[in-house]
Chains A and B, each alone.
Chain A
Amino acid sequence: MNKALTGQGFVRDVAHHNEIKAKRQDGMGAFLRGCALFVITLALPAQAFAHASDSGIRLLLPTGYYLVGGTLAVAATVLIAAIMPARWVNALFRPCAAWKLAVPRIEVITSLAGAVIVMALIHTGFYGTHDPLENALPLTVWTFWWVALPLLCAIFGNLWALINPWSGILNLIGSRGFLKLPKTIGYIPATLLFLGFGWFELVSLSPEDPEGLAWVISAYIVFTFVAGAVFGWEEWSQRGECFSVFFRFIARLAPIQISREKGIVITRIGFPGFGVLHGPVITISGALFILLALATVSFDGLSKTFPWLGLIGVNPLEFPGRSGVVLPNTVGLVGAWTVLAGAFFICVMAGRWFARESDVPMAGRLALTILPISLAYHVSHYLTALLVNGQYLRATLQRALALEETEVTTSFLNTINDVEHIWQVQSGAIVLGHILAVLLAHASILAVTENAHTATKRGTPLAVLMVAYTAFGLWLLAAPTGA
């Protein structure tokens, strides 16, 4: 069967090739060629290399069982929370230990160090390799800072407050601001900036391009320095600098909470999420920020699924690239936020109506209880990116340190056992995140409502939304993707 190339065969091919060339030189078929060109141009040549990968293997997994099981687990948590004595729920989120510590103020030093590192990274973005998987800037920004740092903050507390590039310098120059950021504006500056960031990450053409990213970061750093100098860093980082707001919120999930009260540093330890109940309450605009953070990561998942691509008229096997979906994905991003915020506020109002209580506003408190869901989506959505691009980041560090470079592999996305393990971590995160959110929401209402029965009534619509969002999250993970 095996017809290996023989010398004679090749000579024959060459002869035939030359024969065809000779025919062409006779001016053969100019008209036919013209017609063929016309026809070919009409029917654009096509290629489809979208290979199976982890999305294809996921379709073979029993994801339906996980979806039903996970959703039922969250629904069961709602029921258990409803019948559980209030003191049990309260006890779960009560700090179990607190210490007064004389921690030195290291924020200035760490922030200055952060500023130096950011400057070095920006320099690398401008002058280093143009390959986004070898340049330290996009790898650090998108893999470490945006994917890993939120997870670290959810474990160890608000690390961004320590390493952000602004607070140290602004503190050193003694800038306290000379304009007051109006109270009524709430978190609107941070929310709009985060929306811009979401658009840059999910919709813009090349967020990983080192040079482009260096420009964007430079502009944002300068803008934030100016805003911090004008309004004072304390104020701007609370409601203007969107990442300070984001990381501060995420850090409220950490089992360790550090606060400074009257010059004394108090460290509290408790069940993950206890900081949500024991920190400052936020306003409606703060709720909108948290909902935007969740909507952003949710839409990123949704925008790659077959149903979404079908909705916007894109063949999922022939994704045109980001430039072909800028408008629908811009609308989709804002739309996802609108729908999620609409559903949230309707549930909050419905709960208020069910419970016949109108004295205590709950939207801000309940929005904080969505944070575990936001973190869960973050974990599940970015897990594979962390596993792959984390290797590129490691390789870049190895190169920088003149160590032997470890070859990047993605085999775990092509083997069913590994894909199943990844799926289990992702779906587990979604389910656990929602369970924590349900418990936090119940505890949050109990904190302002003496009557457990009333609390259940008040929380039921939001609990239903959380159960539905669990199903949606698991469906997103399991859905076939084409972008």
Chain B
Amino acid sequence: MATDDTNRRNLLKGAAAIGAVAAGSQLLPGAARYAQAQSSAPIKIGFQVHRTGIGAAYGRWYDRTTKAAAKLINDEGGINGRPIEIVAEDDGTDPKRGAEVIEKFATKHECDVAFGTLFSHVVIGSAPRAGELKLPYFVVSEGHHVASGMLNRYTLQPGITDVKSQVQSMAPWVADNLGKKVTMIYPDFAFGHDHRDYFSEAIERRGGNVIAKIAIPPRETSFFKYLPKIPKETEVLYHVMVGPGVLTFVKEMGEYFGDKRPEIFGFIDSLEAVDITSPGLEFLEGSHFWEGYPRYAGKDQSAHDKFYREAVGVDDTGASLSDPKDVSTFAHMFGCWETLHILKAGMEAADYKGPKDRQALIEAVENMDVFPESRAHPQGSKLFNGRTHQAFGHQHISRVEGGKLVPVHKTSIFDTFYEDETDYTKMSF
């Protein structure tokens, strides 16, 4: 694992080798600042992004974060002395289009690697093509599909944790602090089922119990008829509703429970990019949320977090600096920033020079273990499992207080571990 410091040292070494010094190079404008490598051509990173389709709201912030990270990397000398070039292509949040985009990266744009994208179905549709074209594909998807073993050696997820580890890591704190008798309300399809299964298992390990599982049909837009199914002895209500019905769900929950309610725990996915002070969300006051990365900077904000927010252009409430009402997809987009920094570290470790070194790049990343909290990893330290191609990291729990999400707990990485389900390193290239 190369930290910012080691990267900087490597760059300085490269510069020294051709008789330059870092101080001198900083005096030179533009591309001349890049240490002279064998090739000064940019390293092309194909950025598969949800510019249109249902993922566009996330794509906008993935784009901003990616540009900020690329700018930083280039300002600091690029990778192996070469600048990086982000080649963005819209995947339309569609798996077929996603595969087409991967093909364009490999054959038309001659990208060195592909990177980006969030929605699982796009990753699952694109990864086979990346494998066929032998194009390293670094996803920022959060899905369990990478670690589950259903993809291939060329697909990695080192910059963001997966939903399985996120969900199960919530159980210890929920059981110890909110209550052990849990009722789960979730949409009745695979996304909700994953939450149901991962969490039920984890809470039972902690001595808790899911006393009711209430599955809501996906087409439902009013939830009153389901709320009476919540058992009276419920101590914690775990909800993972998504889609346009979320706000109605919160409103109706508030009307149903009034002041007497159980503890409430949810996933910020439901309200990602939504201002928590929006009218109708008052009922969430005092409730808790999982956050991949706390939207509101805590009182013990790290210097890395501060730097990251400034670079991306978001304030301490996770909103755009140019429009305080424009709330970012803060819990997810850091994955782009961190993944690009891992790519840099991996390419430097593999002494990456061109597409013939793609396998070496993958092996270099597979050999990484630890990403310490740093400017490259502002969300926190992570451990990388090279066999499953999946990163594991701290998860966060925030409480809604005065219309703000106040960070109250940071899990141990230990809480996010689960047994390996695959070993990609045994797959041939």
The verdict on B258 contacting chain A, using a C-beta distance below 8 Å, is no
Residue of A nearest to B278 (CB): A416
**Contact call A480/B244, Cβ cutoff below 8 A:** yes
Q: Nearest Cβ distance between residue A307 and chain B, in whole angstroms? A: 8
The verdict on A184 contacting chain B, using a C-beta distance below 8 Å, is no
**Contact call B244/A43, Cβ cutoff below 8 A:** no
Tell me how many residue pairs across A and B have CB atoms closer than 8 Å: 298
For chain B residues 78-113, which have a beta carbon within 8 Å of chain A? 87-90, 92-97, 100, 104, 109
Residue of A nearest to B49 (CB): A131
How many of chain A's residues have a CB under 8 angstroms from any CB in B? 77
The verdict on B246 contacting chain A, using a C-beta distance below 8 Å, is yes
Residue of B nearest to A412 (CB): B325
Q: Please tell me which one of the listed residues B95, B109, B191, B194 contacts residue A323 in the complex, with CB atoms under 8 A apart.
A: B95
The verdict on B218 contacting chain A, using a C-beta distance below 8 Å, is yes
Q: Nearest Cβ distance between residue B305 and chain A, in whole angstroms? A: 12
The verdict on A20 contacting chain B, using a C-beta distance below 8 Å, is yes
Residues of B within 8 A of A44 (CB): 120, 124, 145, 150, 190
**Contact call B325/A411, Cβ cutoff below 8 A:** yes
Residues of A within 8 A of B194 (CB): 43, 45-46
Q: Which of the segments B6-14, B231-239, B334-342, B403-411 contacts the partner chain?
A: B403-411
**Contact call B278/A5, Cβ cutoff below 8 A:** no
The verdict on A101 contacting chain B, using a C-beta distance below 8 Å, is no
For chain A residues 137-183, which have a beta carbon within 8 Å of chain B? none
- Distance, CA A36 to CA B187, complexed state (A): 24
Residue of A nearest to B384 (CB): A17
Residue of A nearest to B162 (CB): A45
Q: Nearest Cβ distance between residue B415 and chain A, in whole angstroms? A: 9
How many of chain B's residues have a CB under 8 angstroms from any CB in A? 104
The verdict on A91 contacting chain B, using a C-beta distance below 8 Å, is no
Q: Please tell me which one of the listed residues A56, A134, A209, A323 contacts residue B244 in the complex, with CB atoms under 8 A apart.
A: A56
- Distance, CA A47 to CA B423, complexed state (A): 23
The verdict on A450 contacting chain B, using a C-beta distance below 8 Å, is no
The verdict on A318 contacting chain B, using a C-beta distance below 8 Å, is yes
- Residue from A18, A32, A408, A483 whose CB has the most chain B CB atoms within 10 Å: A408
**Contact call A407/B221, Cβ cutoff below 8 A:** no
- Distance, CA A199 to CA B327, complexed state (A): 34
- Distance, CA A237 to CA B403, complexed state (A): 58
For chain A residues 384-421, which have a beta carbon within 8 Å of chain B? 406-412, 414-416
**Contact call A47/B420, Cβ cutoff below 8 A:** no
Assess A321 versus B121: contact at CB under 8 Å? Given A1-B409, A51-B269, A131-B89: yes
- Residue from B121, B194, B313, B409 whose CB has the most chain A CB atoms within 10 Å: B121
For chain B residues 43-76, which have a beta carbon within 8 Å of chain A? 49, 51-55, 57-58, 60, 63
Assess A208 versus B52: contact at CB under 8 Å? Given A17-B369, A49-B269, A316-B218: yes
The verdict on A85 contacting chain B, using a C-beta distance below 8 Å, is no
The verdict on A48 contacting chain B, using a C-beta distance below 8 Å, is yes
Residues of A within 8 A of B177 (CB): 1
- Residue from A46, A58, A414 whose CB has the most chain B CB atoms within 10 Å: A46
Q: Please tell me which one of the listed residues A14, A315, A409, A480 contacts residue B370 in the complex, with CB atoms under 8 A apart.
A: A14
**Contact call A59/B58, Cβ cutoff below 8 A:** no
The verdict on B343 contacting chain A, using a C-beta distance below 8 Å, is no
For chain B residues 300-353, which have a beta carbon within 8 Å of chain A? 300, 313, 319-323, 325-327, 332
The verdict on A424 contacting chain B, using a C-beta distance below 8 Å, is no
- Distance, CA A205 to CA B410, complexed state (A): 42
Assess A317 versus B243: contact at CB under 8 Å? Given A17-B417, A47-B163: yes
The verdict on A322 contacting chain B, using a C-beta distance below 8 Å, is yes
- Distance, CA A12 to CA B412, complexed state (A): 9
Q: Please tell me which one of the listed residues A47, A57, A310 contacts residue B143 in the complex, with CB atoms under 8 A apart.
A: A47
The verdict on A259 contacting chain B, using a C-beta distance below 8 Å, is no
**Contact call A205/B92, Cβ cutoff below 8 A:** yes
Q: Nearest Cβ distance between residue A20 and chain B, in whole angstroms? A: 7
For chain B residues 122-143, which have a beta carbon within 8 Å of chain A? 122, 124, 141-143
The verdict on A470 contacting chain B, using a C-beta distance below 8 Å, is no
**Contact call A209/B90, Cβ cutoff below 8 A:** yes
- Distance, CA A32 to CA B221, complexed state (A): 40
Q: Please tell me which one of the listed residues B95, B100, B189, B280 contacts residue A46 in the complex, with CB atoms under 8 A apart.
A: B189
Residues of B within 8 A of A12 (CB): 412, 414
- Distance, CA A131 to CA B85, complexed state (A): 13
**Contact call B90/A410, Cβ cutoff below 8 A:** no
Residues of B within 8 A of A283 (CB): none
- Distance, CA A51 to CA B141, complexed state (A): 16
**Contact call A130/B89, Cβ cutoff below 8 A:** yes
The verdict on A320 contacting chain B, using a C-beta distance below 8 Å, is yes
**Contact call B53/A29, Cβ cutoff below 8 A:** no
The verdict on B33 contacting chain A, using a C-beta distance below 8 Å, is no
**Contact call B95/A40, Cβ cutoff below 8 A:** no
**Contact call A409/B320, Cβ cutoff below 8 A:** yes
Chain A 306-335 against B: per-residue CB contact (8 Å), 1 yes, 0 no? 100110000111111111100000000000
For chain A residues 35-77, which have a beta carbon within 8 Å of chain B? 36-37, 40-41, 43-53, 55-60
Assess A40 versus B90: contact at CB under 8 Å? Given A59-B245, A208-B51, A482-B243: no
The verdict on A451 contacting chain B, using a C-beta distance below 8 Å, is no
The verdict on A206 contacting chain B, using a C-beta distance below 8 Å, is yes
Residues of B within 8 A of A209 (CB): 89-90
Q: Nearest Cβ distance between residue B257 and chain A, in whole angstroms? A: 18
**Contact call B144/A40, Cβ cutoff below 8 A:** yes
Assess A50 versus B410: contact at CB under 8 Å? Given A40-B148, A316-B218, A318-B189: no
The verdict on B5 contacting chain A, using a C-beta distance below 8 Å, is no
The verdict on A33 contacting chain B, using a C-beta distance below 8 Å, is yes
**Contact call B60/A57, Cβ cutoff below 8 A:** no
- Distance, CA A58 to CA B373, complexed state (A): 41
- Distance, CA A36 to CA B149, complexed state (A): 9
**Contact call B243/A56, Cβ cutoff below 8 A:** yes
Chain A 1-21 against B: per-residue CB contact (8 Å), 1 yes, 0 no? 111110001101110111011
For chain A residues 171-217, which have a beta carbon within 8 Å of chain B? 205-206, 208-209
Q: Nearest Cβ distance between residue A79 and chain B, in whole angstroms? A: 34
- Residue from B54, B189, B273, B383 whose CB has the most chain A CB atoms within 10 Å: B54
Residues of B within 8 A of A407 (CB): 313, 320-323
Residue of B nearest to A323 (CB): B96
**Contact call B190/A59, Cβ cutoff below 8 A:** no
**Contact call A29/B221, Cβ cutoff below 8 A:** no
**Contact call A321/B53, Cβ cutoff below 8 A:** yes
Assess A51 versus B273: contact at CB under 8 Å? Given A10-B381, A33-B422, A56-B245: yes
**Contact call A310/B219, Cβ cutoff below 8 A:** yes
Residues of B within 8 A of A55 (CB): 244
Q: Please tell me which one of the listed residues B93, B190, B326, B411 contacts residue A45 in the complex, with CB atoms under 8 A apart.
A: B190
**Contact call B191/A318, Cβ cutoff below 8 A:** yes
The verdict on A481 contacting chain B, using a C-beta distance below 8 Å, is yes
Q: Please tell me which one of the listed residues A18, A20, A49, A481 contacts residue B118 in the complex, with CB atoms under 8 A apart.
A: A49
- Distance, CA A41 to CA B370, complexed state (A): 28
**Contact call B118/A3, Cβ cutoff below 8 A:** no
The verdict on A132 contacting chain B, using a C-beta distance below 8 Å, is yes
**Contact call B275/A322, Cβ cutoff below 8 A:** no
- Residue from A47, A129, A322 whose CB has the most chain B CB atoms within 10 Å: A47
Q: Which 8 A-B pairs have the closest CB atoms?
A: A321-B94, A46-B190, A323-B96, A411-B325, A40-B148, A407-B322, A13-B413, A55-B244
Give me 13 other A-B pairs in contact (C-beta within 8 A), A60-B248, A415-B278 excluded: A4-B410, A10-B372, A16-B414, A21-B387, A33-B420, A48-B189, A49-B58, A52-B244, A130-B104, A318-B121, A321-B97, A407-B321, A482-B243
Chosen A-B contacts, 27 in total, with CB atoms closer than 8 Å, are: A2-B409, A5-B373, A9-B412, A10-B372, A12-B412, A16-B414, A16-B417, A29-B419, A33-B149, A36-B421, A37-B148, A44-B190, A45-B145, A47-B163, A51-B242, A53-B273, A56-B243, A56-B246, A60-B251, A133-B51, A206-B90, A315-B189, A319-B53, A323-B97, A409-B323, A411-B275, A411-B325
